[in-house]
Structure 1
Amino acid sequence: MLSQEPVLTLDHADIYQGKKLVLGDVSFIINNGEFVYLIGRTGSGKSSLLKTLYADLWLQSGKGHVAGYALDALNPRDVPQLRRKIGIVFQDFQLFFDRSVEENLKFVLKATGWKNKTDMDARIADVLTQVGLGNAQQKMPHQLSGGEQQRVVVARAMLNKPQVLIADEPTGNLDPAVADQIMKVFQAINNAGTAILMATHNYDLLHKYPARVLRCQDGQVVELRG
């Protein structure tokens, strides 16, 4: 049974990029296990909103909670802990191209405090199987297609069993058939209980895989009612 405690809340939050207010008076809740799209034109504030949620930008006014951490009272020392509770998937894969898939994932585990080699190997095998890349441990990123690289990125985001996955245009660089496959991976992760907030320009996905939709427009975040 999913806990009813929301995994993410913003309450009258103002989202700034530097000194510029990009979104004002933002309030919404995402519950455990929910799937939510974030849409809006380029420059509408989607990325600034996501960056605030994983503390790349500071929340300057209003309140926010993500995975048990108060964004409005966050100590910089707590940022690594917060990021262990959330998975982040970027549009540009940000993989290390000089090391294998396994070494890419092991780097993250070591950086987040894992020590035991057996535990690390088991977790890496788990997440790669979850995204359909069970045999890719020893491959180098350049040996993988764009879609496979994005699967590795999703696997990397899942390493620490996050409560919520934040994805910024995860299908932006992929052709429609591959975008479809990545969406199925996200759906499987979501069905297993992880909440997902996905920023996207791809409105086909919204029709094919309906879910809650938040839209950034005119400096506000509004919920679209289906």
Structure 2
Amino acid sequence: MQFSNEPVVRLNKACIFQGITAILQDVTFQIDKDEFVFLIGRTGSGKSSLLKTLYADLPLKMGQGSVVNYNLNEIKSKEVPYLRRKLGIVFQDFQLFTDRTVAENLYFVMKATGWKDRSKMKTRMVEVLMRVGLGGAATKMPHQLSGGEQQRVVIARALLNEPSILLADEPTGNLDPEVADGIFKLFQEINKQGTAVLMATHNHELLRKYPYRILKCEKGRVLDSNETEILEAKKE
């Protein structure tokens, strides 16, 4: 079952579980189609579990939720690949096939998500590599690329199906500051072109430098900076 006319992410009184353990409770927030949102919190606070729930790697057992118009409460296993086609997922540890070229890594995802026309696949592969600044990297193996370049390949992979939102789990965590800054600016460019971004990060310099909305996982809850600012204003 799908919702219509919804924000790209909506959770209402959701409870996020790992197995039988509740990691986050009473989670309520939404992300609109053009938003850039930081997701922060200490290690073990529930950030990754929240992201996994959004891309249906963990089931939503309590509360209500929708992501890109898919109802997380009712989604069937056969529908999960269709949900993920509308998402871009970027991991900290790249998860590239090390025995395949950059092009073969991207072709693998396209085949897995229903692409069949080889000429269209090649055109799209070139488009996304150009978009992330790696136009000449198609024939290279991952080990021939720097860490920052590998992360750009991961972002290119995430963009293949023109996602409504990018979910990024510590995408700059293993990169030196200068490279990390370049990757972050790439996320900004993608966001400005209409793709929402939810980015988990420990990089407090980014939080200070860029005044985007913040969701903070803390003590089993998710605090929303928008709501926190409203509450603080009411106290004054």
- TM class by smaller structure: over 0.9
Per-residue CA deviations over 1:149-188 (Å, capped at 9, x if unaligned) read 0000000000000001000000010010010000011011
What letter matches 1:48 in structure 2? S
Preserved contact between residue 4 and residue 32 of structure 1 (Cα < 8 Å): no
Rounded to whole Å, the distance in 2 between the matches of 1:83 and 1:17 is: 20
Report the alpha carbon displacement of residue 205 of structure 1 after superposing the two structures with TM: 1.0
Runs of at least 5 residues in structure 2 that lack an aligned partner in the other structure: 230-236
For 1:125, the equivalent position in structure 2 comes to: 126
For 2:233, the equivalent position in structure 1 comes to: none
For 1:33, the equivalent position in structure 2 comes to: 34
For 1:102, the equivalent position in structure 2 comes to: 103
Aligned structure 1 segments of 4 or more residues deviating by more than 6 angstroms: none
Q: Percent identity?
A: 63
For 1:69, the equivalent position in structure 2 comes to: 70
Report the alpha carbon displacement of residue 206 of structure 1 after superposing the two structures with TM: 1.3
Per-residue CA deviations over 1:58-82 (Å, capped at 9, x if unaligned) read 0001010000100011111100000
Rounded to whole Å, the distance in 2 between the matches of 1:33 and 1:107 is: 29
What letter matches 2:97 in structure 1? F
TM-score (norm 1): 0.97
Rounded to whole Å, the distance in 1 between the matches of 2:147 and 2:211 is: 25
Preserved contact between residue 6 and residue 69 of structure 2 (Cα < 8 Å): no
What letter matches 2:76 in structure 1? N
Per-residue CA deviations over 1:3-22 (Å, capped at 9, x if unaligned) read 97411100110000110000
TM-score (norm 2): 0.93
Give me the CA root mean square deviation.
Answer: 1.2
How many equivalent residue pairs?
A: 224
Rounded to whole Å, the distance in 2 between the matches of 1:65 and 1:193 is: 19
Rounded to whole Å, the distance in 2 between the matches of 1:61 and 1:48 is: 14
Per-residue CA deviations over 1:94-143 (Å, capped at 9, x if unaligned) read 00011110000000000111000110001001111111111111111000
- Determine if the alignment matches structure 1 residue 7 to structure 2 residue 8: yes
Preserved contact between residue 38 and residue 200 of structure 2 (Cα < 8 Å): yes
Rounded to whole Å, the distance in 1 between the matches of 2:131 and 2:193 is: 10
Q: Secondary structure at the match of 2:73?
A: helix
For 1:217, the equivalent position in structure 2 comes to: 218
Q: Secondary structure at the match of 1:147?
A: helix
